Amino acid sequence: MPRFDVVIPAADSGRETVVHLHATDWTEALLDALEAVDEPIDDLRLFSVDAEGEELIVRADEGKRFRIREQADGDHDDDDALLIELVDREASPPSPPAVAPADEPLVERIFTSFEATLVGAKSAAEAAERALDFVAEHFDAESSAVLYMDTVAQDMYFAAARGPHANKVIDMRVPPGKGIVSFSLRSNTTLLVRDVQSDPRFYADLSKSLDYPTTSLVCAPIFFESRTWGCVELVNRDGGGRFDEQHSNALWYAGRKLGEFLERILEEQNTLGIQRSDPHRS
């Protein structure tokens, strides 16, 4: 199994924490490293992943900037140990806080209008359709989708889709643990990926089967409190540009509000005594 060095940015102490550990890929390495040093990950939002030499630079909210390097064979003596090291060196310069200003037009529209879009929806499927109607109108994305977790098959299915291949993708599924959406679901993080092709989490099989090149995307979990229902995703910005933090912040809010609405539907149906084998499919 590959071995990684994960550099966690310094706080006020001027020290960085370096965690050396085994993991199947860099995403697992980052989550395991944060867990090892008791860093909270439940509300962590990752915004971009870039390659700089042999390192991956992962930018998160609050200006955090993680550095991850896969060790070459022979770089380490103890293959089995998880090692935590405090290093006295100048910390990596923090990224600017990835928080969109309150006066951003997109963020304003989400805050004031998105929740009202869901009012009257009677099922998770109808809520997904309404959410994407709003996304298609207000987000400049070529394609978008809402994916729900299938609690029986443990994979993700497309509850609603918009874009040039929506009629094809609606019948597809994302296998367990595959793709950026699975990482977003597992870690409950919002991801802004400006260069999809260089991201090892990207599930290229789906893009290839549609013959639809993917350049950039934003993926946000659909969640409320301790329950995560799935993800909402933007794929390829209109005009060939790249998504930015304004999109990721707005989509995070949309995912949270959709999750809150789904929780409300679940509570109402439980109150009425409606029995369902898979609550995500109602």
Q: Report the distance separating Cα 205 and Cα 110, nearest Å.
A: 32
pLDDT at 127: 95
The sign of the dihedral angle between the CA atoms of 246, 252, 256, 258 is positive
pLDDT at 113: 86
Confidence band for 169, pLDDT divided at 50, 70 and 90: very high
pLDDT at 232: 97
Geometric angle at alpha carbon 205, from 200 and 207, rounded to 5°: 95
pLDDT at 275: 38
- Which of 67, 73, 30, 34 minimizes the C-alpha distance to 51? 67
Q: Report the distance separating Cα 232 and Cα 237, nearest Å.
A: 15
Output the furthest CA–CA distance in the chain (Å, rounded). 62
Residue with tokens 């380490």: 76
pTM score above 0.85: no
pLDDT value at 138 more than 80:
yes
pLDDT at 256: 92
Residue predicted with more confidence, 215 or 201 = 215
Residues 6+ apart with CB under 8 A from 141: 135, 163, 234, 235, 236, 237, 238, 243, 247
Coil, helix or strand for 218? strand
Average pLDDT over residues 170-191: 90
- Which of 258, 259, 262, 250 minimizes the C-alpha distance to 99? 250
pLDDT value at 217 more than 50:
yes
User: What domains, with CATH codes, occur in the chain?
Assistant: 3-88 (no CATH), 105-281 (3.30.450.40)
Geometric angle at alpha carbon 47, from 42 and 53, rounded to 5°: 115
pLDDT tens digits for 247-270? 988 999 999 999 999 999 888 877
Average pLDDT over residues 26-39: 84
pLDDT tens digits for 38-85? 887 766 666 666 666 677 787 776 677 888 988 876 555 555 667 877
Average pLDDT over residues 120-134: 94
